[in-house]
Structure 1
């Protein structure tokens, strides 16, 4: 179904890794290859993602591997990472996995009145597209209005960038009242709180449900396996008549 600009009044932004897909094995191999291309040395240790943007992961990875970061490192590393990841695109579905319920949740949300879905990810855009295409999840995502790690902003700022892009494309204003971020880490929760969105946290990553609740998520779900529950949560958070008082 193609939504007209006038019909769009809800923005749902998805974190990618450990929320929709898990391709950590391929990601580590791509990072190791990119590290070697940029520094000429093997990567001994990769910094943990923890819901952070690519720029933070790259700088920490350089530091813990004994490389003093210079101005040229970030753009070169981002370019190398896109190349090394694309070279491994055929491994994504084989060595990775779609998170349980992800496809049904995306499909069900696409039928909720006024919704456009995109991504808010610390990863770079090219890699986010490849990850979701590998599992045929891209058909429900408008990548044009997303926020991506190569833009070198904190996730909270990327959220506001995505809201601005959605406004420009669809003509509606997106605020905390009609934007929902779905992610799996306390950093995702912080991005929603500071960026201006309601937060649905899913305990499919490395954080427990209690940790996500303590971080301040509006709603915490164990996973995405109950698609109707996901839809109901988005509807509740974007409908003033049903929104909980916090």
Structure 2
């Protein structure tokens, strides 16, 4: 079943920034349902019960899958990744009704997305290690998709380092909105040191929130431009985004 998304319509002439959001532990926490879906996918693909699931820590599903196979004693083969991704999508979709009951939106996430959407010329999307269908289910369960254009984001089934995935998302936004997005007008919002490292490598600005497993000191040390305790102060988030961006160039 298709999941609706409602990006804010932005006239091409006014576009001046791209804001990319990490999903897990930045916008939502649905770890119980995610682990359950992984266990079901693992059983379907390997015929064995899942004993241990590696921590996510900002890594893409493709990387998590290979490590989870390894730590559970399964030698990875070529067909494992596509089969596991398909099984994970199916298992997660079957559990999407549990997301709002057993998960939560992170404090201030809804208000921060809404506030940033009011910044003139802002396009918001996601840069996440989660595969696209599961990311959209997570966002939709809490009404967070309303201010995001999920079509220009970067997702966990795409086997790229996260810094490269950020550049892929910039290219998609360029094609969709007709503006050039680069380090001067792109901001990543995430919770892990890996997110910060990806932004640094890609040359994008970084707003880190200490709502995941990385401590504020680790986020500072990794090179975040701004470190916030959480998203509970929308004005603070908006000020950080506005202060880290400058007008985009029209695509040539």
- 2:141 aligned residue (107, 131, 134): 134
Q: Distance in 1 between matches of 2:158 and 2:67?
A: 17
For residue 6 of structure 1, report the CA deviation from its aligned partner.
2.0
Q: Which residues of 2 match residues 26-65 of structure 1 at below 5 A?
A: 26-65=33-72
Q: Does 1:14 align with 2:27?
A: no
C-alpha distance in 1, partners of 2:48/2:13? 53
CA–CA distance in 1 between the matches of 2:35 and 2:87?
13
Taking structure 2 as the reference length, what is the TM-score of the superposition?
0.94
2:176 aligned partner: 169
Equivalences, count: 240
Structure 1 counterpart of 2:104: 97
Q: Does the aligned pair in 2 maintain the 1:160–1:196 contact within 8 Å?
A: no
SS in 2 for 1:144: helix
Map Cα deviations across residues 130-149 of structure 1 (whole Å, 9 max, x no partner).
00000001000001100001
Contact (CA 8 Å) 2:16, 2:246: kept in 1 or not? no
- Give ranges in structure 1 of 5+ residues lacking alignment: 241-246
Is the 1:5–1:169 contact (alpha carbons within 8 Å) kept by the matching residues of 2? Answer: no
Question: Is there any run of 5+ residues in structure 2 with no aligned partner, and where?
Answer: 1-7, 248-252
Instruction: From 144, 148, 161, give the equivalent of 1:154.
Output: 161
Structure 1 residue 239: Cα displacement: 3.6
Can you list the C-alpha shifts for 1:113-154, whole angstroms capped at 9, x where unaligned? 110000000010000000000000100000110000101111
Question: Higher relative contact order by CA 8 Å / sep ≥ 6: 1 or 2?
Answer: 2
Matched, 1:228 2:235: yes
For residues 183 and 153 of structure 1, the distance between their equivalents in structure 2, rounded to whole angstroms, comes to: 18
Query: CA RMSD for the aligned pairs?
Result: 0.9
Name the residue aligned to 1:70: 77
* Shift, 1:233, TM fit: 0.1
- The normalised TM-score by structure 1 is 0.96
In 2: Cα distance, 1:151 partner to 1:225 partner: 31
